[in-house]
C-alpha cells in the first residue's frame, strides 16, 4: 500500500497515510481545520544496494552534516501518521 503525504502549511504539519486506491483522503488539518495540500513523494529505489533508506540518504555526508540536516528538517514540519502508527509490542503500555 503506498504512503501519501499531505501538508498543512500554516500549522507546519505533514500528515502521512498508507492508503488504498478506494480509501478516503484526508481533506482538512486536525488542528486548524484548514485545507491540506498533497505533497509529491518519490518512490524509494535501491539501485546502489544500500542497507536502508537512511544509509542511501546520507551516503555522501559526514556525520556532522547528517546531524545538522536532520535537526533542520525536524524544525520545519511535524509528522503525524493517519491513523497513528501501531505499537511494536502488544504489551507496551501508554501510561
For residue 34, the model assigns a pLDDT of 92
What dihedral angle (degrees, nearest 10) is formed by the CA atoms of 20, 12, 35, 23? 10
For residue 32, the model assigns a pLDDT of 93
For residue 44, the model assigns a pLDDT of 58
For residue 66, the model assigns a pLDDT of 76
How many Cβ atoms are within 10 Å of 69's Cβ, its own excluded? 13
**Residue ranges of domains in the chain:** 3-82
Distance CA 26, CA 28 (A): 6
For residue 33, the model assigns a pLDDT of 93
Q: Would you say the C-alpha torsion 49, 52, 56, 58 has a positive or negative sign?
A: negative
For residue 62, the model assigns a pLDDT of 82
Q: Which alpha helices (H) appear in the chain, and where do they start and end?
A: 53-57, 63-76
Q: Which three cell numbers stand for residue 86?
A: 501501531
For residue 41, the model assigns a pLDDT of 66
Q: Which three cell numbers stand for residue 24?
A: 478516503
pLDDT in tens, the chain (95 residues): 678 889 998 988 889 888 888 888 888 998 999 999 998 766 656 566 666 666 666 677 788 887 887 777 667 778 888 876 666 666 666 55
Amino acid at each position: 500500500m503506498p504512503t501519501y503525504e499531505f501538508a498543512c502549511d500554516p500549522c507546519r504539519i505533514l500528515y502521512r497515510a498508507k492508503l488504498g486506491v478506494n480509501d478516503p483522503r484526508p481533506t482538512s488539518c486536525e488542528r486548524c481545520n484548514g485545507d491540506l495540500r498533497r505533497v509529491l513523494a518519490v518512490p524509494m529505489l535501491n539501485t546502489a544496494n544500500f542497507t536502508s533508506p537512511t544509509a542511501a540518504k546520507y551516503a555522501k555526508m559526514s556525520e556532522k552534516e547528517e546531524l545538522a540536516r536532520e535537526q533542520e528538517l525536524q524544525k520545519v514540519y511535524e509528522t503525524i501518521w493517519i491513523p497513528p502508527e501501531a505499537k511494536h509490542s502488544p504489551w507496551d503500555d501508554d501510561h
